Amino acid sequence: MRADRMVSLVLLLRQRGRMTAERLARELDVSTRTVLRDIEALSAAGVPVYAERGRHGGFALLPDFQTSLTGLNHDEALALLVAGSRRGAQLFGLGSALASAVLKVIDALPEGLRDTAAGAAQRLLVDPETDLLSRRVAPEEVPDAIAAEVRRAVFAGHRLRIRYAAVDQAPKWRTVDPIGLVTVREQGYLLAKRAGEDRTYRLSRVLGAEELDEPAERPDTVDLDRAWQERNMRFRTGGDQVDVLVRVDPDRREELVDTTLAVRAEEVDPDGWLRMNVIFQDSRHAEWALWHFATHLEALAPQWLRTSLHDRAAAVVTRYGTR
């Protein structure tokens, strides 16, 4: 469930007392089924919410429910609310814990500051589901049980057995020495060593996980940012990479950069378009990415790529020719 909706639900119950699921649904602009799921999640997170049956029944909080937290100002509380809207905790199986923590922060504030912080949080949106071009972000889902097992092994420094489904391979079990967890653009990764070699595993491809009762073979300390950058660099410099020269509409530059591994050179042509030397992972990646730019981009080299894009365009013209 969304952390901000959890906060709103509990604040409603604190301020108004007993409320029915239907009334809560109207206040939160969600379905009754969603409210019932949220109530169940609140209870699982340790919030003492209970149901009263009968004609005048509904949901309520225990009368003495409160938390304690001191020294937190408005901006600090707001920063925690913003953090609570991000996806990293969900990927690592900490979603309910984060939502519960955010709730405690809000509930612990003085009444005036609580209302101000909660209202300010409604004016901020972090990582929406779509961008300005209506491209939908597809966040990966990692089962909480798997995420929790991986997380425990990472923090405890224990070895880990995972059933991993690599691309184009049947899932199989392997034993690794976990180093840390990374989230990048809605995707979670486990950094680990296997037989002494660096390995990176996508959490959404982990189908099973088991923490082992034996120490992991890894350094006592790690610079996770540096480790990620080193693996990222090895990925960028490996494989059958393709060097491509293109001309692109400057309004689409950032979109192009997002699809490439690297930009080697860039200059402005007399007509204002950008001439760029970019690197793609392989030929299939290059063709797929550039095709989506339609007439906003022209591939200048290599020739095989120009020919391939021409053939694609010709096929489309044939398909949609006049009848």
Q: Can you give the pLDDT at residue 214?
A: 93
Residues 289, 280 contacting (CB under 8 angstroms): yes
Residues 39, 74 contacting (CB under 8 angstroms): no
Choose between 200 and 4: higher pLDDT.
Answer: 200
Amino acid symbol at 102: V
What are the E-state strand segments in the chain?
49-52, 58-61, 158-164, 172-184, 187-194, 197-202, 206-215, 242-248, 262-268, 274-280, 297-301
> From the centroid of its chain, how far is CA 209?
21
Residue 194's nearest CA partner among 209, 211, 175, 170 is: 175
127 Cβ contact partners less than 8 Å away, ≥ 6 residues apart: 85, 86, 87, 137, 186
pLDDT band at 70 (very low <50, low <70, confident <90, very high): very low
Distances (CA, A) of 87 to 4, 126, 184, 195: 13, 10, 10, 31
Residues 226, 242 contacting (CB under 8 angstroms): no
Contacts 24+ apart (CB under 8 A), 228-236: 228/182, 228/191, 230/198, 231/191, 231/198, 231/200, 236/261, 236/262, 236/279
Mean pLDDT lowest for which of 45-49, 77-81, 201-205? 77-81
Q: What is the pTM of this model?
A: 0.51
Choose between 57 and 203: higher pLDDT.
Answer: 203
C-alpha to C-alpha distance for 112 and 66, rounded to whole angstroms: 16
Token pair of 141 as six digits:
């889902």
pLDDT in tens, 233-274: 776 666 678 899 999 999 999 999 988 888 889 999 999 999
C-alpha to C-alpha distance for 237 and 243, rounded to whole angstroms: 12
Q: What are phi and psi of 300, to 5 degrees?
A: -95, -35
C-alpha to C-alpha distance for 211 and 226, rounded to whole angstroms: 26
Given a cut of 90, is residue 313 above it in pLDDT? yes
C-alpha to C-alpha distance for 249 and 229, rounded to whole angstroms: 30
Q: Can you give the pLDDT at residue 68?
A: 47
C-alpha to C-alpha distance for 153 and 160, rounded to whole angstroms: 6
C-alpha to C-alpha distance for 293 and 278, rounded to whole angstroms: 15
Q: Is 308 exposed, middle or buried (0-12, 13-18, 19+ CB in 10 A)?
A: middle
pLDDT in tens, 118-129: 665 555 555 666
**∠ CA(216), CA(221), CA(223), 5° rounding?**
115
- pLDDT, the chain, mean: 80
Crossing angle for the helix pair 32-44 and 3-16, nearest 10 degrees? 90
